[in-house]
Every structure is written in structure tokens, then in C-alpha cells.
Structure 1
Amino acid sequence: MRILHTSDWHLGRTLHGVDLHRAHEAFLDHLVELVRAERVDAVVVAGDVYDRAVPPVASVELLSDALARLTALTRVVLTPGNHDSATRLGFGAGLFRDRLAVRSRIAGLGEPVVLPDADGAPGALVYALPYLDPDMSREELTETGEDGARERPARSHEAVTAAALRRVHADLATRRAAGARVPAMLLAHAFVTGGAASESERDIRVGGVDAVPSGVFGPAGALDYVALGHLHGPQRVGREGVDPVMRYAGSPLAFSFSEAAHHKSTALVDLGADGVRAVELVPTPVPRRLGDVTGTLAALLGRAFDDRTGDWLRVTVTDDVRPEQLWEQVARRFPHALVVRHVPARVRERAAATVTSAQDPLEVAAQFLAAAGGRPARQAELAVLREAYEAVLAAERSA
């Protein structure tokens, strides 16, 4: 069986104000063509399909179109992440036929989606967990102990994920005992210990903890592959030879400058009766390069940066004094600059200032201008400050 693992599409997201809708369209076109070219048996999407619980209409239409095209070629298994609304994403799930499975409810998470092989026999089992928020899922994951008492999982991601995995492993053990070994994979949206985060994932900490140890998903001989979502960098996690093969597909697009060095991809996973046989990372389309450029304004306007004019950039200008019309000059040079900031290269020694009611407010304002602008305040600027301050005082006196 050939499975295409992807996640964290975040349809509806922007990048520093830039609408990524067309970039998402290009990615989904690529995904459809990849499924066709590689004869993929199923696409699994491990959460965060949308960027927010109530997505824009255009994003809903984009997903509808993508699922229609994908299910014309293969099967799709999809779960919500922490950005999605499980209820909205799962609307109508009971009406979908066998080529689209949206697993958005905790009930039934121990029952897999059975993918048929070319002969119609079970070719792979896909257990799909929706994002398990500890506060929202503990009650439904309550178990009956050996003494008959009801035991609710602790308020942590580790506890609720472990409770869900006990249901999965119990079902898998029963199926394996009853017949030939069928490869099994799990979809989960979680922060697994050891994963490298970026700046664009939403914080999911509860009680100060967000991580789930990789051992929760084991042992290695049971589940063959764990298809993870949540972290935006494609990476393998877990202990090789101890845990199942565990990967984050990562997001198909970069959503922060911390992801500039990521090689965005989807994972083609080949499964056999003996488990994972191969994993191939397929690069996703790059709408524009993302990166940083740093230097004095004169250097940035020079020929050395000619190859960066088409990139999405974070521009850091290092002149000691903030240049006039900084944004305008940078925008003419780099029309796709997303962030422009002034960080003087020479760090001046400044005594820590404590503002008290005894200080002259105009003096404090002048000190701030000097610290922020890298030069003393001009007389004209001080005059504006003085006029504004006196106007406030006059207003207070007349109140």
C-alpha cells in the first residue's frame, strides 16, 4: 500500500498580511498530480486543515474542490487539529462514502478505516485520532478499572493520548490475533517529545506541559507508522527500533520566518505486511523564497542583494541612525519585503533608566527618541513634543 502523509495545510492563513490562497491552490494542484502520478492508495491528513475554527468561505470552497478531485483518484482520511473546529470539519461525516473518511469524534477512535488492496482484501488499517484537548476529551476517554471504578485520564496531553492509544492497541491486537498481519498506521495531532517547533504553531500547553512521550505510541511491533501533525517542520521523531516509525509531514508552506530553512514536503509511505518498507519525501511547491537580509541601507541598496528582490523578506537595517523614509526606500528595493526593522549595529552603552514622577516628561521622551532612533532628538521634534505636552496639561486644567 502506498500512503501519502500530509498535514497542517492551514487554509485561510496569511503571512504578515499576504494572502496565501493562491499558494494553497498551487499546493493542492501539486497534491492531486502527485496522487495521480504515484498511484497513491490513500491520502492521510493529520489535522489543522483550516487555520481557524471559522474559516473564510474561499477556504471552505478550496477544501471542497480539493477533496472532490482527490477522492476521484484515491481515498482520503482526514482528522481535525487544534486550529480546526472538529464539529464544523466533521459536519456530514456520516454521509460520506468509503472514499472520504473524516474522523472528528472521539467515539469510535478505536475502530480503523480499512483500506482495501487491489484484490479488495484489507491492505492497511488507519486509526485516526482527532486533536485531543485534555479539557474537552477527558470525560469521553474515561475508562473502567479492574475494580469496576470509572477512571478519568489526568489533565494532560500524555494522559488523554495514552487512553486513546489503549483503545487502538486493543482493537489492533484483536484483529492481528484473528487473521493475517495487516499493516497499521495512526494519525495524531500532538507535540511529541523531541520534535523541533517553529514560531507559527499555536501553543497547546495545559498545566505548563504540551509534550507527549513517544513511548505512548509503542511498542514498535504493533503500529507500523505514526503520521503526525502539529509541528510545521518535516522531521522524524521517536526512538528508532523502539517506537513505530514516526514522522511529522510538516506544513506545505512556510508560515513564519523561523521556517525559512525548512524543506517543505509530503511523505510517501510504502507499507507491506512486514511494516514500513520505504518513506520518500516529495518537495512541495515554493511560492516565493523566504529569508532574511541584513546590512546598512547603502549595502542593501547595492548590487550584492540583486538575487533577493523577488523573495519574501525580513529586512534588518543596521545604520547607527535610522534612515529617513526607511520603509519607502526598502520597499522600492525589495517589493516583497514583509518586515522592515531598524537595529543599529553599534550597541551604545545606556544606563538603565527609571522613570519617576520627579523627572521632566519632555526629557524622558527625548531619551526614548534617542534610544529608538539612534540619534539625539532634533529641536523641531522637541518642539512638537513640548507643544503636545502643554496641550495635555491645558486640557487637564480646564477639565
Structure 2
Amino acid sequence: MKFIHTSDWHIGRQFHNVSLLEDQRHVLNQLLDYIKTEKVDAVIIAGDIYDRSIPPASAVDLLDQVLTAITMDLGVPVILIPGNHDSAQRVRFGSRQLKKSGLHIMGDLSAITEPVVIASSTGDVAFYGIPYTDPETVRNVWSEDVKSFDEAHTFLVNKISKATLANQANVLISHCFIDGAQTSDSERPLSIGGSDRVSYQPCEDFNYVALGHLHAPQQKGAPHIRYSGSILKYSFSEQHQKKGITLVELDKDGRASFTHLPLAPLRNMRVIEGEFATIIEQGKLDPHKQDYVLIRMTDRHAILEPMAKLREVYPNVLMLEKPGMLITGDQAMNREKLKRGELEMFSDFFEQVSGQAMSTDQQKAVKETIVSLIKQEQQA
């Protein structure tokens, strides 16, 4: 059995008000090429297909084109789960009818023990999917008293484990945050306060675990428990990450081997640091001047209209930082502040306005409000 594991397409995403749809189409065409050349038996998409719960029409059209090309033109089945950026109800619309064409959308939490079984030359493989969910939803669907993301995920994985058959290979697909894995700035937190982490240990007995949510390609806990990573760089913190997809092969004994297949972006995402004049001169000769760029100027004197001049050589400058111009304050500290979550930022705002820190009860009320707003956005 040979299949491709991919995730975190985020179709329809904008970066600093620039649409990345053309960039996404470019790498998804490479995915189609890999499917042809590797002659895979299936394609797995582990969540965050869209970038938001109500995607623009252009994003829906691109996804329709790609899935049609895979399932209809190439005749390869696709198995996908919704992620935290997707609306599970919208993504799984028509899922029962779409099965007939080879598109398997595993978005129903109550049906997680029902696998998609695909035959291959090395035997049948059962694919089980856990769409993104939270403890409250698990309590409502399964009437199980789980309080944390870890308890909820462990319960679901154990439920699936009891349904697996010993005489076939079993693959788990999940959109979650394995504790200790490497994060990126472009990922939306699953909960407030770091309680979204889950344990890898319940997943160890599966032949392969295809994970989504984190954007850096990586394994966690065991070699066969893997994040494929996102198909593009979605923040400047990802500039050194090697984006791609994961080719997985299961032998007749269910042992998995993995190969990272790189995806070459239409425009890379880079951070360029130095003095203004030096950056301008190197930009004139840069063969990749169309890349998305963050410029970090080290000059200590004022420069008239630097962004306009920089865009003459780097048309896609999206951010400009001038740490050398700061008389007081710490640029790195400010950057760290921007990375913090909604609760921490509101706490800072409250303290600046009122002159005192929020009480425990106030923090609890604000946290509940933020969680409620995030859930409303996901379900919208």
C-alpha cells in the first residue's frame, strides 16, 4: 500500500492582504504530479482544507478542481477530515453521495469507528478519521465525562483501537496538537492557555498516524506518528521549513516507511536583514526578487519612504521592521508580545486602562467569552 499524507492546505488564505490562491494552485499541481508518478493507492488530507469556515468562492472552486482531478481523472480515492479552520458540517455536505466517486469525508464524530477500507497489493488497509473536536463536543456526542483535549482525544483513539481488526493494517488520521511538537506563528491555537495538547501514546499501536494542524513537517513520539506540515509557508517564522507532502508505504506486514516529497513554491517567503543601501543593491541582482519578503533594516538614521523604494527591487515586500530606529524598548520583546493569545493581550489592555490586573474571576469570564467566540466562528 502506498499513499500520500498531506494536510493544512488553508485554501483561500490571505497573507498581509495578499491572496495566496495562485501560490496554492501552483503547489497543488505538483501534488497531482506526485500522485501520477508515484502511482499511489490513496491520498489523505488531515484537516484545514480551507482557511476559514466560510471560504470564498474562488477557494471552493480550486478545491473542487483538485479533488475532481484526483478522484475522477486519476481514479485515486481521497480520505479527508475537517480541521479547526474548517466547518465540519459544510465540508461533509454530500459525503454519502461523494463516496461513490472515491471522495471519503470523515466529518461525523459519531462514526469514527467506521473505517474506509482500501485494498492494495499488500493487503487491505483500514483508515480511521478523527475530525477536529473539543471536549464539550465529545461529551455531547458520546456522553463521556471528558474535561480536557487530552482526555477527549485519548477516549476517541481508544474507541477506534477497540474496533480495529488484527488481520489488516490500520491508519489513524487526526487533526490535533501532540504535546511537545514544534509550532509556527501561522497556526491558530485550539484553546486558550495551552490546554489543547494531547498525548501521542494512545496512537502508538496504529501502523501509521497521519496528523494535521502543525505546519512544520515532523514526527512526534514515534517515527510513524507524523505531521506532513502545510503545503506552503504561511508566516515568516516558517522561512527555513522544507514544505512538502509525505509518501507512506506499508509492506505486507504493516511496517511503514516514509519519504518527504518537496513542494517548490511559486514565491518563497524570506526575511532579509541589513542596511537599506545594501538591501537595495542586492535586490537589483536577486534572481528571486518576486518572493514574499520581510525587510529588517538595521539603519539608525531616518530614511524617506523606504517601503516605496524597497518595492522597486522587491515588489512583494509585505513587512518592514526598523529595530535600529528604536530609541527605547525592545523589538524582540514587542515581537513576543504579538505572539501571545487573546487572553494575554486583553489582560495587558485591561491593566493599562484600569491600572490594575484582572482578578481570577474576571480572567475566567474573559476566557469563557473568547472560547465561545472562537467556537461561534468555527461553526459559522
Asked whether 1:256 is paired with 2:235, we answer yes
**CA distance in structure 2 between the aligned counterparts of 1:349 and 1:54, rounded to whole angstroms:** 40
Indicate yes or no: 2:151 matched with 1:159: yes
Aligned residues of 1:50 and 1:59 also touching (Cα < 8 A): yes
Tell me the secondary structure at the aligned position of residue 216 of structure 1: helix
The one-letter amino acid paired with 2:116 is: V
**Equivalent position SS for 2:110:** coil
Residue 322 of structure 1: how far off its partner (Å): 2.3
- In the alignment, structure 2 segments of 5+ residues that lack a partner are 331-380
Aligned pair in 2 of structure 1 residues 341, 349: CA closer, same or farther (>3 Å)? closer
Report the 3-state secondary structure (helix = DSSP H, G, I; strand = E; otherwise coil) of the residue aligned with 1:232: coil
Unaligned segments of structure 1, at least 5 residues: 143-150, 351-399
1:309 is displaced (CA, Å) by: 2.4
Deviates more, 1:34-43 or 1:82-91: 34-43
**1:207 shift after superposition:** 5.7
The 1-side partners of 2:218 and 2:151 are apart by: 24
1:178-197 to 2 correspondence within 5 Å? Answer: 181-197=167-183
Distance 1:65 1:309, change over 3 A: closer
Structure having the higher Rg: 1
How far apart are the structure 2 equivalents of 1:343 and 1:203? 28
* Kept after mapping to 1: 8 A contact 2:283/2:314: no
CA contact (8 A) 1:54 1:85 kept: yes
Maintained 8 Å contact 1:316/1:343: yes
Instruction: Give the structure 2 partner of residue 198 of structure 1.
Output: 184
**Aligned ranges for residues 321-336 of structure 1 at < 5 Å?**
321-336=301-316
Which residue of structure 1 lines up, in the alignment, with residue 7 of structure 2?
7
CA distance in 2 between counterparts of 1:349 and 1:36 reads 54
**Residues 1:236 and 2:205 aligned together:** no
Instruction: Tell me which of 74, 78, 102 is aligned to 2:80.
Output: 78
- 1:141 touches 1:163 (CA, 8 Å); kept in 2? no
Asked whether 1:55 is paired with 2:55, we answer: yes
Cα distance in 2, alignment partners of residues 82 and 346 from structure 1? 38
Matched residue SS, 2:99: coil
In structure 1, what is the Cα distance between the partners aligned to 2:42 and 2:22?
25
1:83 partner amino acid: H
Compared CA separation, residues 330 and 165, structure 1 to 2 (3 A): same
| TM-score, normalisation: structure 1 | 0.78
Matching of residue 113 in structure 1 with residue 93 in structure 2 = no
The structure 2 residue matched to 1:266, chosen from 227, 230, 245, is 245
Q: Per the alignment, in what secondary structure is the counterpart of residue 142 of structure 2?
A: coil
Deviation (angstroms), 1:200: 0.2
- Give deviations 1:63-105, integer Å, cap 9, x for gaps: 1111111012211001000000000000011112341110101
1:177-202 Cα offsets, whole Å, 9 max, x none, are xxxx2111100000001210000000
Are the counterparts in 1 of residues 158 and 202 from structure 2 also a CA contact under 8 Å? no
Counterparts of 1:304 and 1:18, CA distance in 2:
21
Q: 1:97 to 1:348 in 2, by over 3 A?
A: closer
More helix by share: 2
Counterpart for residue 30 of structure 1: 30
Aligned-residue offset at 1:3: 0.9
Q: Alpha-carbon deviation of 1:319? A: 1.7
Indicate if the aligned counterparts of 2:228 and 2:245 stay in contact, CA closer than 8 A: yes
Residue identity opposite 1:269 in structure 2: V
* Mapping for residues 1-399 of structure 1, pairs under 5 Å: 1-72=1-72, 73=74, 74-98=76-100, 99-118=102-121, 123-142=124-143, 151-154=144-147, 156-172=148-164, 175-176=165-166, 181-206=167-192, 208-218=194-204, 222-239=205-222, 245-303=224-282, 306-307=285-286, 309-344=289-324
Q: Secondary structure at the match of 1:107?
A: helix
Alignment partners' CA distance in 2, 1:296 and 1:322:
12
Q: Is the 8 A contact 2:149 2:196 kept in 1?
A: yes
The one-character-per-residue Cα deviations of 1:333-386 (angstroms, maximum 9, x if unpaired) are 221211112221786699xxxxxxxxxxxxxxxxxxxxxxxxxxxxxxxxxxxx
Q: Residue by residue, what CA displacement relative to the aligned partner does 1:256-307 show, whole Å, maximum 9, x if unpaired? A: 0011001001001001232234211100121112111112212222247732
| Aligned 8 A contact 2:302 2:325 in 1 | no
1:320 shift after superposition: 1.4
CA–CA distance in structure 2, aligned partners of residues 303 and 53 of structure 1: 41
Deviation, 1:11, is 0.4
User: CA-atom RMSD, angstroms?
Assistant: 2.0
For residue 215 of structure 1, what is the amino acid of its counterpart? Answer: Q
Distance in 2 between the 1:129 and 1:182 partners?
19
The alignment partner of 2:112 has SS state of coil
Per the TM alignment, residue 239 of structure 1 is displaced from its structure 2 partner at its CA by 3.7
Q: 1:231 to 1:225 in 2, by over 3 A?
A: same
Cα distance, 1:304–1:30 mapped onto 2, change above 3 Å: closer
Secondary structure of the corresponding residue to residue 43 of structure 1: strand
Q: Distance in 1 between matches of 2:193 and 2:304?
A: 47
The runs of at least 4 consecutive aligned structure 1 residues that moved more than 4 Å come to 345-350
**Aligned residue-pair number:** 326
Q: Rate the CA distance shift 1:206–1:159 in 2: closer, same or farther, 3 A.
A: farther
Q: 1:113, 1:127 within 8 Å by CA — same for their partners in 2?
A: yes
Once residues 346 and 305 of structure 1 are traced to their aligned partners in structure 2, the CA distance between those partners, rounded to angstroms, is 28
Per-residue Cα deviation, 1:15-57 (whole angstroms, up to 9, x for no partner): 2222111111122211122111111100000000000000001
Aligned residue for 1:340, secondary structure, equals strand
CA distance in 2, matches of 1:299, 1:97: 57
- Kept in 2, the 8 Å contact 1:182–1:273? The answer is no
Q: Write the letter of the residue equivalent to 1:187.
A: I
